[in-house]
Amino acid sequence: MKYNKKRSFGLVKTQFVSFNKPFVLSSGHKIPSLTVAYETYGSLNSDKSNAILICHALTGDAHAAGYHNPDDRKPGWWDDMIGPKKAFDTEKYFVICSNILGGCKGTTGPNSINPLTNKPYGISFPIVTITDMVRVQKMLIDYLGIPYLKSVAGGSMGGMQVLEWMALYPDLVKSSIVIASTSRLSPQAIAFDAVGRNAIISDPAWNKGNYYKKKKKPDRGLAIARMIGHITYLSEESMFKKFGRKLQNKKLFSYDHSIEFQVESYLHHQGKVFVERFDANSYLYVTRAMDYFDLVVEYGSLEKAFEKGKGKTLVISFTSDWLFPPKQSLEIVHALQRVGRDVTYCNIESPYGHDAFLLEFCQITRLISNFLSSLEKV
């Protein structure tokens, strides 16, 4: 799709900031220095009170809206939500999105050069947590000279970061928007992550994480990991409506091991395009960070995690999301209610499963626009 100024935020550029001092991680290990990739949309007002931070999901990045070049085929991953007159209205708000620590799109991660060795970190990169990611985001916000955030918003793993912001920096978060997320992964979700990681490390080309200068990379393992993950993002209803049991470009079975069904072809395509834009080692690190995330373990209880904050919270879930089901959102809502927090909850009827947070933008837009407007009236 060509650049269309009427429907998109417009042309944007990824920016970079470096912090040339050691960063101590939750594990106690240190990273000698950090680089953070980020994008901004809209303008910061004179008193710096209109900043909103968008936190991306597992395979997202800082490029949340607009186009980098007029010939780009696709805009940023949440382009339907960020821009003039959209949910995050850039005529009102200064919207920020950064690539997470451990990512592979400009922020320091396993594919970055270790300044101590002048070689890619690979799996010598220390394990990171959601807390570490949020602390790096806080460094970026400080660098931009923003005293507090009008709102922090995100879906899926982005929602985990929002929850961590609420707990870690309660005085800096004036409101929060948590979409299709959870305060801790279920054993089932951890199991899917484990299978994906095993697909990567079982690929001979993974070479114990040292593949960056090799011709062959663990593309097959990463593609399989993506296929496994993608299944969890859909729902039985959406898969049946989209594919059913239809065959791919044929009317009869081939009676061999070729791709027979449309759903097989779809997953194969998803895996193929994913390896063109993501790093296998980053997939290992980011899924592990999700596995470790547990606000109850970190703070003692959800109530203790949320008791210090005062800002409003909007929590959104989707009826067909079996990866992060509505009951997990309700746990967050009930904990916020028990500590007297102002919380609004909506469980949206949708057939799209976990992916609904990227697809149901019309319904989400109404909810977020009304929520953000309510902040202006306080």
- Catalytic positions are 156, 321, 354
Identify the H or E element spanning 5. none
Contact assessment for residue 40 and residue 95, using Cβ atoms and an 8 Å cutoff? yes
Dihedral in degrees, nearest 10, Cα atoms 153, 156, 161, 166: 60
What distance lies between CA 69 and its chain's CA centroid?
Answer: 23
| DSSP track, 171-187 | TTBSEEEEES--SB--H
Question: Token pair for residue 341?
Answer: 């927090």
3-state SS, residue 115: coil
Could you tell me the CA-to-CA distances from 264 to 53, 181, 192, 247, 359 in Å, in that order?
37, 28, 18, 9, 22
Rounded CA-CA distance 106/14 in Å is 9
Return the closest-CA partner of residue 185 out of 72, 319, 331.
331
Neighbour tally for 45: CB within 10 Å: 12
Which residue carries 């004036």 as its tokens?
Answer: 174
Question: Token pair for residue 291?
Answer: 């596995």
| DSSP track, 176-234 | EEEES--SB--HHHHHHHHHHHHHHHTSGGGGGG--TTSSS-SHHHHHHHHHHHHHHHS
Q: Is 71 buried (19+), middle (13-18) or exposed (0-12) by CB count in 10 A?
A: exposed
**Residue 371 bridge partners (DSSP):** none
Identify the H or E element spanning 30. strand 30-31
Question: Token pair for residue 163?
Answer: 């929850």
Handedness of CA 231, 237, 243, 246 (dihedral sign): positive
